[in-house]
Amino acid sequence: MSALKSLTDEHQAIGELLGALQTYATRLKSGASVAPADLTRFAEVLRELVDYRHHEKEEGILLPLLARNGFEWSSGLLSALRHEHGHLRYLLDVLCQAGAKSQEELDARGSREERRQIAEAAIAFVEFKRRHIQKEEDELFPAIESKLGARALEKLSAELAQFDEVTGKNAESARIFQHAAELVQRYSVDSGVVDVTGVQWESAPDTAVHVRQEVANVAFTSFGRSR
């Protein structure tokens, strides 16, 4: 399914971010110490990578091409996925609002209820996005592979590649990718050494710069072509 590799690579990278956000929310809800500013970073990174890039590719390239090649636009799977994108934007808005006030509510004075509400906003996004990715990979992508001819698949692959090339020229990408990589490292299941897409995450101070560069180049390779 090489025509969809750009999207499946992004699903994998997004999945790493979702796992990190889930760990952050779990620590927050349990009362463990977390950095309040990281919630803002999660919201910013997810808005950029999930909505402004990944969903843009699907809504601007993938779904219209499918509609031109026999897929029903106003009902069925395409309609459901577009509706889910809208709900994910709403959940991102909630997460961004939580991040905006997290500095005050996650400090020592923050109540258990405040921490619980913020954690549940994060978990709601994680769970819904995971289900959405699963639906695309279990239902949409196999349907694309079976229904689209070679010419349509080639066109899809070319258009996705063009999007990646054009958006990859934006200098803002480096900052976003570095923040994404740092969040995955900081909130991995084992914060010491975690193997993510072939990269050893070392927590030693003298390797921190090297790790950030390696992550930007390898762990988020699919997003490295964007904007």
* 69-112 pLDDT tens trace: 999 999 999 999 999 999 999 999 999 888 777 655 555 455 78
Of 78-92, 118-132, 144-158, 193-207, the range with the lowest mean pLDDT is: 193-207
The answer to whether residue 134 scores a pLDDT higher than 90 is yes
Q: Report if residue 221 sits inside a domain.
A: no
User: For residue 127, what are the CA distances in angstroms to 18, 123, 203?
Assistant: 9, 6, 28
Q: Report if residue 200 sits inside a domain.
A: no
DSSP three-state, residue 195: strand
CATH assignment at residue 7: 1.20.120.520
| Other beta carbons less than 10 A from residue 156's beta carbon | 21
pLDDT tens digit string along 16-68?
999 999 999 999 888 888 888 899 999 999 999 999 999 999 999 999 999 99
Please give the share of the chain, as a percent, with pLDDT higher than 70. 77
Q: Report if residue 222 sits inside a domain.
A: no
Q: Which domain holds residue 73?
A: 2-172
Rg (CA), the chain: 18
Considering only CA atoms, which of 173, 170, 159, 168 is closest in space to residue 60? 159
Whole-structure pTM value? 0.80
The answer to whether residue 8 scores a pLDDT higher than 70 is yes
Residue with the bigger pLDDT between 224 and 200: it is: 224
Please give the share of the chain, as a percent, with pLDDT higher than 90. 59
Main-chain dihedrals φ then ψ at residue 39, nearest 5 degrees: -65, -40
Q: Report if residue 37 sits inside a domain.
A: yes
Residue with the bigger pLDDT between 71 and 202: it is: 71
Q: Report if residue 213 sits inside a domain.
A: no
Q: Report if residue 206 sits inside a domain.
A: no
Q: Find out whether 78 and 64 touch, Cβ atoms under 8 Å.
A: no
Q: Find out whether 11 and 135 touch, Cβ atoms under 8 Å.
A: no
Residue with the bigger pLDDT between 225 and 99: it is: 99
Q: Report if residue 99 sits inside a domain.
A: yes
CA 45 to chain centre: 8
Domain count, the chain: 1
The answer to whether residue 5 scores a pLDDT higher than 60 is yes
The answer to whether residue 221 scores a pLDDT higher than 90 is no
Of 99-108, 116-125, 150-159, the range with the lowest mean pLDDT is: 99-108
Mean confidence (pLDDT) of the chain: 81
The predicted pLDDT at position 106 comes to 58
Residue whose token pair is 């590649």: 161
The predicted pLDDT at position 104 comes to 58
Q: Report if residue 212 sits inside a domain.
A: no
